[in-house]
């Protein structure tokens, strides 16, 4: 799909400097721009590229003043970075404007769905599933019985949604993710074996949540595993049974949260963090990457390490750790001088 500079300026409320009929059909970084591409310049460090870029159109700040002739058509806006982000969002919406049911697909009895549904080929939708308006479900996805999916959701290829899961509005789930699989519940027996504890709860994902690829959110043993509004989960994250993640919390990849732990609102959790079960993480907590959380954390704490402790104390301790060889040498010299 092609767009002219004039059309793009209309979307961004910008001003065209150059050819209003210049056409683009792809996006590029300014240093890699080619004919037919659209790019942007927001950081002054990249100013020199605007004189050499082959991009057809470049979005710039209104404050930008050219020091020499530029070949690219300019679109001047208040904030080039925000404008380009808006354009990316618009571009992504166009890409997702699919509708219709591809074959082969299976839609079981009692399924209801709203307008503009897209169901890719080789999808299975179980009994009594409710699907809202403008939902996009890409090929090879599985939707179990009695699942509820709200409006404007996107499930990319190969997503698995187990039975009884409830998904709110404006939720995006990326490829390979599994929602609602059994929690890790096994009861030790007298003979040393482990007997599976049936997992009969469900998963609730509230509005405006995004879940990355190849992540797993387990169903509750009883009740619900809950992902609150606005949560953003990276790739390869494990959320165990009966966990609750508070609103607007963000979690980076390869983090695992054990069963029944409660994470507060607006927390930031780095990659490869391990959190034990049955504890509480307060609101606005920040956990640095590769930390091990073995006890509850109070609101606003910032921690690092394994076992994790106060970030400021950790940083000071690490300075001493790095200086240990020097300290040991100094002690050895003192021993020698005292002999």
- By annotation, the residues acting in catalysis are 241
CA distances 118 to 14, 61, 114, 147, Å, are 34, 38, 10, 17
Length of the chain counted residue by residue: 339
Beta strands 186-188 and 194-196: pairing type?
A: antiparallel
CB within 8 Å of 65: residues ≥ 6 apart: none
Find tokens 């992540």 and name the residue: 215
Query: In this structure, are residues 181 and 203 in contact, taking their beta carbons and an 8 Å threshold?
Result: no
CB within 8 Å of 144: residues ≥ 6 apart: 126, 129, 161, 162, 163, 164, 165, 180
Helix 324-338 with 311-322: angle, nearest 10 deg: 50
At 32, give phi and psi (nearest 5°).
-115, 15
The DSSP string of 212-278 is -TT-EEEPPSSSEEEE-TT-EE-SS-EE-TT-EE-TT-EE-TT-EE-TT-EE-TT-EE-TT-EE-SS
CA proximity to 175, closest of 146, 135, 211: 211
């Amino acid at each position: 799909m092609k767009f002219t500079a004039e059309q793009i300026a209309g979307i961004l409320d910008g001003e065209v400097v150059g050819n209003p009929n210049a056409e683009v059909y792809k996006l590029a970084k300014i240093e890699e721009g080619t004919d037919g591409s659209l790019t942007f310049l927001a950081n002054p460090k990249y100013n020199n590229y605007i004189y050499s870029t082959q991009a057809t159109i470049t979005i710039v700040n209104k404050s930008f003043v050219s020091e020499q002739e530029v070949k690219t058509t300019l679109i001047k806006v208040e904030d080039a970075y925000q404008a380009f982000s808006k354009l990316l969002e618009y571009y992504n919406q166009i890409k997702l404007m699919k509708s219709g049911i591809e074959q082969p697909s299976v839609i079981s009895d009692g399924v209801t769905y709203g307008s503009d549904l897209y169901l890719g080929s080789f999808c299975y939708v179980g009994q009594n599933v409710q699907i809202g308006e403008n939902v996009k479900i890409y090929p090879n996805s599985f939707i179990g019985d009695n699942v509820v999916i709200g409006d404007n959701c996107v499930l990319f290829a190969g997503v698995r949604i187990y039975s009884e899961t409830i998904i709110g509005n404006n939720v995006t789930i990326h490829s390979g993710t599994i929602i609602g699989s059994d929690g890790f519940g096994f009861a030790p027996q007298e003979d040393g074996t482990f007997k599976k504890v049936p997992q009969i709860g469900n998963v609730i994902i509230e509005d405006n949540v995004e879940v990355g690829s190849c992540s797993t959110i387990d169903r509750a043993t009883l009740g619900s595993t809950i992902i609150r509004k606005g949560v953003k989960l990276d790739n390869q994250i494990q959320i165990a049974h009966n966990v609750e993640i508070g609103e607007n919390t963000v979690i980076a990849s390869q983090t695992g949260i054990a069963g029944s732990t409660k994470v507060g609102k607006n927390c930031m959790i780095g990659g490869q963090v391990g959190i034990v079960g049955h504890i509480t993480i307060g609101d606005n907590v920040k956990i640095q990457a590769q930390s091990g959380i073995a006890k509850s954390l109070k609101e606003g704490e910032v921690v690092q390490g394994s076992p994790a402790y106060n970030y400021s104390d950790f940083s000071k301790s690490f300075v001493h750790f790095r200086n240990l060889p020097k300290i040991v040498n100094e002690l050895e010299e003192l021993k020698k001088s005292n002999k």
